[in-house]
Amino acid sequence: MEPDSISKHQLNARRVHLSMFDKKKFISDQKSYLAFLEMEKGLSNNTIYSYKQELEKLKQYFQNNKINHSAVSEQQAIQFIKTEAIKGIALATQSHLISALKSFYKYLVSEGMMDHNPFANIEFPKKWKILPHYMSISQVIALLNTPDQTRPLGIRNKAILELMYGTGLRISETTELKLENIYARESFIRVMGKGNRERVIPLGDKAKNFLEIYLKEIRPTLLKNKNNTTVFLNRRGEKLTRQGLWKIIKGYGRQLGIASTFTPHTLRHSFATHLMEKGADLRSVQMMLGHSSISTTEIYTYLTKDKVKKMYDQYHPRSKE
């Protein structure tokens, strides 16, 4: 009986030891790791300092919760990350924290101080989960019908909105558009986007019709015999500025009561999302938007998937218990 009682006592003592925070041991391992980063990895002082700051957060958490850093479980590691995330730190800051701790425990494993890396399977937060706002088709139609087409500037603004929604142009691309970049007969426009990347975008009938009305009937009256090849002009015959167009579009948003969530870029997001919802392929949408990487365009697939899921939950009889 006595040997059994001794073994239980030793086991309980070991459990108590593993649940205690050993400050001296943590500091020793921390110093060893930071020296490794400097001597072996050749990292800069600023980088090493940033890693030290992340380890200080971990030390404080383990100390407060009486967790031995040499015996931490994956669940305890996850709980620490959740605790930091609740504080509202940015996704980039969360990613840096996770990266630093993955590296720290990878070092402890390589040195034989640990037999596992509790942070190894923790995923980095995904920035694409912060999805852009877009409008429903009915909201877009309401916006397109807002300009007063009995007034010359109303016709101009109608043409602008139809063009931006019909082609996905950025606001700066709209104000910089030149007459020579419009190919009405062939139904496309040529745009110089970010990074001086040129792209060709189809011009739909609606956008083309209102653009032609503006160019034939309104633009000549605004131009007043000035030499200006910019498509969209202000009342003085000068190029409509980005700031000026921003105010115009935001004004229409206020009329519709959506100013808090609506920006000129919302039209671009709506253009891409509605194309994806109607079955457009990702590569074509990428080309029309002028994205250098298709991963940037992929965000719109998540928007459409989210909408499909909501429709399923709403209408399918077996979607919920």
270 and 141 share one domain = yes
What is the longest distance spanned by two Cα atoms in the chain? 109
155 and 258 share one domain = yes
Provide the pLDDT for residue 307: 60
Following DSSP, what letter does each residue of 260-311 receive, concatenated? TT--HHHHHHHHHHHHHHTT--HHHHHHHHT-SSHHHHTHHHHHHHHHHHHH
From 105, 107, 252, 300, active-site residue: 300
Structure tokens at 278: 């109607």
Q: Which residues of 111-148 are buried (b: 16+ CB within 10 A; e: fewer)?
A: eebbeebbbeebeebeeeeeebebbeeeebeebbebbe
Residue type, 214: Y
170 and 71 share one domain = no
Whether 191 is in a domain gets the answer: yes
Is residue 226's pLDDT more than 70?
yes
Whether 132 is in a domain gets the answer: no
100 and 200 share one domain = no
Find the CATH number of the domain harbouring 113.
Answer: 1.10.150.130
268 is a catalytic site residue: yes
* Arithmetic mean of pLDDT, 59-72: 91
Find the CATH number of the domain harbouring 165.
Answer: 1.10.443.10
> pLDDT grade, residue 127 (50/70/90)?
low
> Minimum mean pLDDT among 56-65, 183-192, 245-254, 259-268: which range?
259-268
178 is a catalytic site residue: no
9 is a catalytic site residue: no
From 69, 102, 156, 291, active-site residue: 291
Instruction: Give me the number of domains the chain comprises.
Output: 2
For the question of whether the overall pTM of this predicted structure is more than 0.75, the answer is: no
Whether 248 is in a domain gets the answer: yes
Is residue 74's pLDDT more than 70?
yes
119 and 157 share one domain = no
Whether 9 is in a domain gets the answer: yes
78 and 159 share one domain = no
67 and 168 share one domain = no
Whether 321 is in a domain gets the answer: no
Domain end marker among 101, 125, 149:
125
From 250, 265, 302, 307, active-site residue: 265
Domain end marker among 91, 125, 159:
125
Q: Are 26 and 59 in contact (CB under 8 A)?
A: yes
101 and 33 share one domain = yes
106 and 202 share one domain = no
Whether 320 is in a domain gets the answer: no
Whether 121 is in a domain gets the answer: yes
300 is a catalytic site residue: yes
From 69, 102, 170, 274, active-site residue: 170
59 is a catalytic site residue: no
d(CA 26, CA 296): 41
From 158, 208, 268, 269, active-site residue: 268
* Arithmetic mean of pLDDT, 93-114: 92
Whether 231 is in a domain gets the answer: yes
Domain hosting residue 158, numbered range: 137-315
236 and 259 share one domain = yes
Domain end marker among 69, 93, 125:
125
200 and 268 share one domain = yes
51 and 149 share one domain = no
Q: What is the DSSP letter of 216?
A: I
